[in-house]
Chain A
Amino acid sequence: MKKLTDKERAVYEWQLDVAGFGGEEGQEKLKNASVLVSRCGGLGSVVAYELAAAGVGKLILAHGGNVKESDLNRQLLMTDDWLGKPRIESVERRLKELNPRLEIMAVNDNINEDNAKALVSEADVIVDAAPLFKERFLMNREAVAQNKVLVDCAMYELEAQITTIIPGETPCLACLYPKEPVAWKRRFPVFGAVSGTVACMGAMEAIKVISGLGEPLKNRLFSMDLRDMTFAVTNIKRNPSCKICG
């Protein structure tokens, strides 16, 4: 277990006093932890930024393609001066500006059948922020197989939802959606402030799981509609005939 440096004690001073976090011991847990975030778009950018800020030691980040203009309303690790250049480089550069101590494993690709198993094996916790259900189901399958916690975040328009999947204890993504959704489209309406809201919750869930702080969102699906500020917590349950975790 790597110990905190004086610099880190200074940087994380404000959060070391959070009740239940465990002070320096909690911070050392973050320092020695690794989190996989895929992708680093509207959701994943903010998840990664908050985890970098909180002092998670290593981030495994997967995001393919080059920065496009239409990324810039929500993908907060992409910048205008990086248009046409690889997104993952922009992600790495921006995170290092904030936290040069951060170790980054940058993958210039999205999660796919060839890399899912290896990338999940690098991480203690996975935050699923991918736009395609194919990628989400792959991460879910590997998280369950490797007994890793997966924080599942999603958004649409002014709505968002989140749950924390703990294999063997909670439903997995395939319990929630036994069949691959038919109507999901790659491009959908959303504001960056919506993806950012649920992304901060996702980062907090990862911090809680790693440090033992608080109570993770187990067996509960939190949903919100920022249009009228309605929030709901739904009790969810495992599917005994789930093909992945049943």
Chain B
Amino acid sequence: MMQINVKYFAQIKSKAGKSSDTLEIDNGMTLHECIKQLGEKSDASINELLFDSSGNYLDTLVLVLNGEQVRYSDNPEMNNNDELMIMSPIAGG
């Protein structure tokens, strides 16, 4: 098993009700599997910000892996103790 440290930014943090979380995933899992598992773990509270009702990834979030932006489509393999920051889109007003 590997541990992933997840940080939330903006609305997804409000939805999750916490600023960070840890996720236990199997060795060799990729970003896609990691995010899917995160949505399932959260009792659907953040799932609606990650996936549409058909289960397609929404692609409206900025994903940051160990301080570097990663694109969902690049689907990198995750490593133990990775830090994944999930940033909701925000605006002005």
A residues in contact (CB < 8 Å) with B: 39, 41-44, 128-133, 136, 153-157, 159-161, 176-184, 186, 188, 190, 195, 221, 223, 225, 228, 232-237, 239
**Structural contact, B69 and A133, CB atoms closer than 8 A:** no
Q: Is there an interface contact between B92 and A234, defined as CB atoms closer than 8 Å?
A: no
- Choose among A131, A153, A228, A234 the residue that contacts B69 (Cβ–Cβ < 8 A): A234
- Give chain A nearest CB distance to B93 CB in angstroms: 3
For B55-93 the 0/1 string (1 means CB < 8 A from A) is 000111010100111010000000000000101111111
Q: Across the interface, which residues of A come within 8 angstroms of B48, CB to CB?
A: 183
**Contacting A239 at CB < 8 Å: which of B14, B71, B87?**
B71
CB atoms of A156 and B69 under 8 A apart: no
The tally of residues in B whose CB lies under 8 Å from a CB in A reads 26
**Bound complex: CA of A190 vs CA of B11, how far in Å?**
12
Is B10 in the interface zone, CB < 8 Å from A? yes
Given contacts A156-B10, A237-B69, contact A179 B90 (CB under 8 A): no
Instruction: State in angstroms the CA–CA spacing of A156 and B87 once bound together.
Output: 11
Docked pose: A237 CA to B71 CA in angstroms: 9
Contacts A234-B68, A235-B69 supplied; 8 other A-B pairs, CB < 8 Å: A42-B93, A43-B92, A136-B92, A159-B9, A160-B90, A183-B48, A183-B49, A195-B93
**Are A235 and B92 CB-contacts (below 8 A) given A156-B10, A178-B59?**
no
| In contact, B93 and A43 (Cβ under 8 angstroms) | yes
With contact pairs A181-B60, A239-B71 given, residues A41 and B14 touching in the complex (Cβ less than 8 Å): no
* Residue among A43, A159, A188, A236 with the highest chain B CB neighbour number at 10 A: A159
Q: Min CB distance, A84 to chain B, in Å?
A: 20
Residues of chain A lying within 8 A (CB to CB) of residue B49: 182-183
